[in-house]
Amino acid sequence: MHQHFLEVKGLGKRFPGKDGDLVVFENASFSLERGEFVCIIGHSGCGKSTILNVLAGLDRPSEGEVYMAGREVRGPSLERGVVFQNYSLLPWRSSLSNVTFGVRARRPGWSKAQVREHSLRYLHMVGLKDGAEHRKPAQLSGGMRQRVSIARAFATEPELLLLDEPFGALDALTRGTIQDELLKVCAETHQTVFMITHDVDEAILLADRVLLMTNGPHARVAESVRVSIERPRDRTTIVHDPAYYPIRNHLVDFLVTRSRELADRARLPEASGGDPMEPLEVDPGADARAGEPSLPPQHGRLMAVNGN
């Protein structure tokens, strides 16, 4: 049987409360292939950050396991880089020094010059130059700080990159340019990415697949939606792709109505604690092209989408 790069099996998180446990989410099972860009969308509080922290090894699940490249994830590792929503830069260090901090941890054997050269390359890759490398985070705009944070994560060259709503706090214009940088860097490095977002258009622009979560408590990863739009993608032309609106409508419809309906059904007494289930695979883009019902996506097509 084919082994996935990242496998999440029956993940659940509960917090003990006065009248019974609060089950934030349960039976979350999904997988990522190497080089894949996967976004996860769900309403606030359904447990997306918790899932990401479990994947990072920063948090322990109440049940279930995570395997990366066949090995169980038990704690944080340099193989999994994290970009937090609030950037998490060390404010007493300059931008460059924040990146070298990561690179030095990753490559203890490298010389100072090597670390510096490598770090500068990634800072330039995300568009930080002209003295911004030497400024402290407090002297940078929100967009520039997030670029530093992304540069740090990419520069440590992790096998899996985890992004928790990285652009949530940015204005639309800045968000757009950094999304473009991210697309470019991912195309260059074939980075595997798991990203939380609120923004349906952002997910379609960036992702190969979008995971949809129902509302909490008792949230689940209900669907895995393939974004069958050729790469390289461009924000201005992507809306003209025939698959764009079918995918977008599917995602919006899920967020507006089905996320709640499915959650209500899951909370019925007879449904609680159901079997671990894989999310339903859907491909609204292909359905629209062929006018035929949804097919489970084949591995070959996935590779074509990734371009590798």
What does DSSP assign to residue 277? B
Of the candidates 80, 89, 76, the residue with the CA atom closest to the CA atom of residue 149: 89
Work out whether 49 is an interface residue with Mg ion (CB under 5 A). yes
Pick from other proteins, ligand ADP, Mg ion, none: which does 22 bind, CB < 5 to 8 A by kind? ligand ADP
Residues 101-120 that bind other proteins (CB under 8 A): 101-102, 105-106
Pick from other proteins, Mg ion, ligand ADP, none: which does 47 bind, CB < 5 to 8 A by kind? ligand ADP
Nearest residue (CB) to ligand ADP, 49 versus 62: 49
Torsion sign across C-alpha atoms 259, 262, 266, 267: positive
Work out whether 211 is an interface residue with ligand ADP (CB under 6 A). no
- Least Å distance, CB 36 to Mg ion, is 21
Residues 28-87 that bind ligand ADP (CB under 6 A): 42, 44-50
Max Cα–Cα distance, the chain, nearest Å = 62
Distances in Å between the alpha carbon of 81 and those of 43, 78, 204? 24, 6, 22
Residues 6+ apart with CB under 8 A from 33: 4, 5, 192, 299, 302, 306
Q: Is the peptide bond before 269 cis (omega within 30 degrees of 0)?
A: no
Work out whether 169 is an interface residue with other proteins (CB under 8 A). no
Of the candidates 38, 41, 80, the residue with the CA atom closest to the CA atom of residue 57: 80
- Least Å distance, CB 3 to Mg ion, is 30
Work out whether 88 is an interface residue with other proteins (CB under 8 A). yes
Which pair of tokens denotes residue 162?
A: 């985890």
Residue from 45, 76, 273, 296 touching other proteins (CB under 8 A): that is: 76
> Which stretches of the chain bind other proteins, using CB under 8 A?
56-58, 75-78, 80-82, 84, 86, 88, 90-92, 101-102, 105-106, 136, 138, 156
